[in-house]
Homo-oligomer: A and B are copies of this chain.
């Protein structure tokens, strides 16, 4: 089979270098072009020396005509960039996977409020497929435009999904207490994410409101028969590079539910999923057990036999939370083996 000709717009951030790591060894892909206005002319390996010997390509000026020669373009750009270029690429028959948030929120007004800008192509939002394969695999197969999910929303959805779609959990008071490694904050020069500021410390941020909240709400509501889900989402910054840990809380809807049933439910739900691993009863997943891989590992608890359920869900924010899920979506959209290029044993220790 001919290799997929891939272009990348952006790619100088952490999701970008992770995408390059995965594509460099992907057997079904040729990287044709990678554009960056600021780094044009620089060899990719001079910015990311881990890629020395694996990639020999330089950043080039953004150029739509070059991107149109691709079968697929990934956008690994700040929010608000992809929406300006996507229509032209889609019309030219190029598939697009956007790792940013431009096409994730169906309600344009909500998007514009949280992202603080006017949307450039609302029509494309409508046709975009939300790229969570565990929910939308069939739609992804035929998609032209895929909105790659946010990192927190991925971990939260995979944890709540079996409970909500089976009406096992009350929707009036859910809590998603989430913790992310610092790479989630990006590769920009920023005092707050210096080693001397962010290591040996722990804090929350965005408690009054974080952009992943509307994405989480939209998705959870789509799983549920309830019109409205009341969820409190609190992100925290963990002094480590990679990993997200979502600790999810809710009340069961019926006293007859017990944790053994839930364990079985989760195991069945995800039995055929290549990248969701339901741990044995009683487990506490560690983020390091998914480091560098596309896996989500989940455990289910019912502390003290009470009516509160606690779900623990971990991913690598740069892989299942970004670049790996994007590759998974590409594999599905192009009819490749879904695990192609993603057959990676997590690096531990």
Binding site for B on A (CB under 8 A): 14, 17, 21, 24-25, 48-54, 173, 175, 177, 179, 181-183, 187-191, 193-205, 207-209, 213, 230, 232-234, 236, 238-243, 245, 247, 249, 251, 277, 279, 282, 284-293, 295, 297, 301, 303-304, 306, 308, 310, 312, 314, 343, 345-349
- Copies per complex of this chain: 4
CB A171 to nearest CB in B, in angstroms, measures: 13
Question: Within the assembled complex, what's the spacing in Å between the Cα atoms of A349 and B25?
Answer: 17
CB-based contact A182/B195 at 8 Å: yes
Chain B's closest residue to A53 (CB) is: B277
Q: Known: A207-B284, A238-B239, A277-B53. Contact between A349 and B183, CB under 8 A?
A: yes
Q: List B contacts of A297 (CB < 8 A).
A: 49, 52
Other CB < 8 Å A-B pairs besides A207-B312, A291-B347, 13 of them?
A14-B349, A51-B345, A177-B247, A179-B179, A182-B194, A183-B196, A195-B198, A196-B349, A199-B240, A201-B291, A208-B304, A242-B349, A249-B249
Sampled A-B contacts (13; CB under 8 Å): A21-B348, A54-B345, A173-B308, A175-B249, A177-B234, A177-B247, A187-B194, A200-B243, A203-B285, A232-B249, A232-B303, A233-B303, A234-B247
Q: List B contacts of A197 (CB < 8 A).
A: 195, 349
Question: Within the assembled complex, what's the spacing in Å between the Cα atoms of A345 and B17?
Answer: 11
The 10 nearest A-B residue pairs measured at CB: A201-B288, A50-B346, A50-B348, A177-B177, A189-B189, A203-B286, A196-B349, A195-B195, A49-B289, A207-B301
Q: List B contacts of A179 (CB < 8 A).
A: 179, 202, 236
